[in-house]
């Protein structure tokens, strides 16, 4: 499903990707070693990496590999509006990062936005199940056909790749989809109750 404001959504998605490129450029040009600010598993000093890790990448090839899925899924995840996207992204960001911190190999430093990409993909795949929306389920089927192979990344296998980041990012996306569906049902229930409530005494209609 295309976001209701596609131009604004595209600007936000492009802006986020641009930030990733600017951060990597700064890391390359200046001797800052920003990758050391990633998530260091089960280290209190590395816990703040939950905030910074999605913005950091282990070189240009790593960032280039993440660019297309990050841009595409970030854009599509804005179907509910940019405000909802911010909350969805925050949920994936925090839950995914904490999952990595708890389960990654000891003292391993994890960086990269692929956890967000997996989270947005999972959000897009399952939200139709929670909302019982045929349109969203149709989008999920298309995404599964085009990008379903990505989901193998949640399993161990490729050295140097954080399957924990992929797995917990995806779980964060599922949680975000459930929270969004729950909030939508609550709003719909409130609107229905308000529309069926009898008017107060003395109210005149026009």
User: Which pLDDT belongs to residue 206?
Assistant: 36
Query: Would you place residue 164 in the very low, low, confident or very high pLDDT band (cuts 50, 70, 90)?
Result: very high
CB 172 within 8 A of CB 92: yes
**Concatenated DSSP letters of 10-64:** HHHHHHHHHHHHHHHHHHHHSS--GGGGSEETT-GGGTTHHHHGGG--SSHHHHH
Higher per-residue pLDDT: 197 or 89: 89
Percent over 90 (pLDDT), the chain: 59
| Helix/strand/coil percent split, the chain, to 5 | 75, 0, 25
Domain ranges (residues) in the chain: 6-179
Q: For the chain, what is the mean pLDDT? A: 88
Tell me the pLDDT tens digit for each residue of 13-57. Answer: 999 999 999 999 999 999 888 999 999 999 998 899 999 999 999
CATH class of 6-179: mainly alpha
């Amino acid at each position: 499903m295309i976001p209701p404001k596609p131009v604004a959504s595209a600007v936000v998605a492009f802006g986020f990707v641009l930030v990733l490129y600017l951060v990597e450029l700064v890391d390359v040009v200046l001797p800052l070693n920003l990758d050391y600010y990633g998530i260091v598993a089960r280290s209190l000093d590395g816990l703040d990496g939950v905030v910074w890790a999605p913005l950091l990448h282990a070189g240009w090839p790593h960032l280039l590999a993440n660019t297309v899925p990050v841009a595409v899924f970030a854009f599509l995840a804005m179907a509910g509006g940019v405000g909802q996207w911010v909350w969805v992204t925050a949920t994936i960001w925090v839950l995914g990062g904490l999952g990595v911190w708890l389960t990654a190999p000891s003292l391993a430093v994890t960086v990269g936005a692929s956890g967000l990409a997996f989270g947005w993909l999972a959000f897009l795949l399952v939200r139709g199940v929670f909302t019982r929306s045929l349109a969203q389920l149709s989008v999920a089927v298309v995404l599964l056909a085009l990008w379903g192979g990505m989901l193998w990344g949640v399993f161990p296998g490729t050295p140097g790749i954080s399957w924990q980041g992929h797995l917990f990012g995806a779980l964060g996306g599922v949680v975000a989809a459930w929270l969004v569906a729950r909030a939508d049902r609550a709003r719909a229930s409130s609107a229905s109750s308000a529309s069926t409530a009898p008017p107060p005494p003395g109210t005149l209609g026009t």
